[in-house]
Structure 1
């Protein structure tokens, strides 16, 4: 007997119907309900081919919401995070340097001068007498 254990135990989802989780099952029912509603609502108004496409387009968002995951968030959580970041708490990010070197050299940079560099003294070493 073999029992499958997911690598990440937090990713485990209990299946209730046809291998679907509760969330996926409810969203699938909503998608079927929207498709049936659109079919019977639009059938007298437009042709059958157009009604079929309208049913697919109307049901697709509901079906996708059941299976959507982004960074561990469901579709509603991801939509709410996007809405908060774009509309409720928008901010303009501005870079401000806190470099002490830049603050010390600000005047020299404004004048267009290069900062002074340390020079290394390269004095030749006296012979040790061990060379042959």
Structure 2
């Protein structure tokens, strides 16, 4: 007897039927019901090949919702998060610098001046040309 233990406890899913959990089973049954309903509704109106493609296209969203996961969110949670971010709380992101160096050098930057060069760490500044050291 072999018992599979997931590495992460939150990844555990109880299987109900053919290894499917309740969510996957419910969405699969909903997809099958949609496909059968579309077939019997459209069969007298159009050809059987077209009805087959329409049944596949009509049932696929329901089947996909049962197995969809993105960053740990199910299809409904993902759709709600997307709707909130795009329509309920839309934002225009504006960059605002909080750099102390930028604040100090703002006037020089606006005038087009170049910032002072940095000294190398292990060298001392050289004296101006024409002056002798240590007299």
TM-score tier after normalising by the smaller chain length: 0.7 to 0.9
Aligned Cα root-mean-square deviation (Å): 1.5
Asked if 1:29 is matched to 2:29, the reply is yes
Q: Which 4+ runs in 1 deviate beyond 4 A?
A: none
- The within-5 A match list for 1:1-132 is 1-117=1-117, 120-122=124-126
Residues 13-54 of structure 1 deviation map (CA, whole Å, 9 limit, x = unaligned): 111111110000000000000000000000010000000000
Shift of 1:99: 1.1
Shift of 1:95: 0.3
In structure 1, how many angstroms separate the alpha carbons of the residues matched to 2:67 and 2:115?
59
In structure 2, how many angstroms separate the alpha carbons of the residues matched to 1:51 and 1:117?
74
Query: The residue matched to 2:64 in structure 1 has which SS?
Result: helix
Tell me how many residue pairs correspond in the alignment: 123
In structure 1, how many angstroms separate the alpha carbons of the residues matched to 2:96 and 2:30?
50
Shift of 1:2: 3.2
In structure 2, how many angstroms separate the alpha carbons of the residues matched to 1:37 and 1:10?
36
In structure 2, how many angstroms separate the alpha carbons of the residues matched to 1:118 and 1:48?
78
TM-score (norm 1): 0.88
Unaligned runs of 5+ in 2: 128-135
Query: The residue matched to 1:105 in structure 2 has which SS?
Result: helix
In structure 1, how many angstroms separate the alpha carbons of the residues matched to 2:8 and 2:117?
55
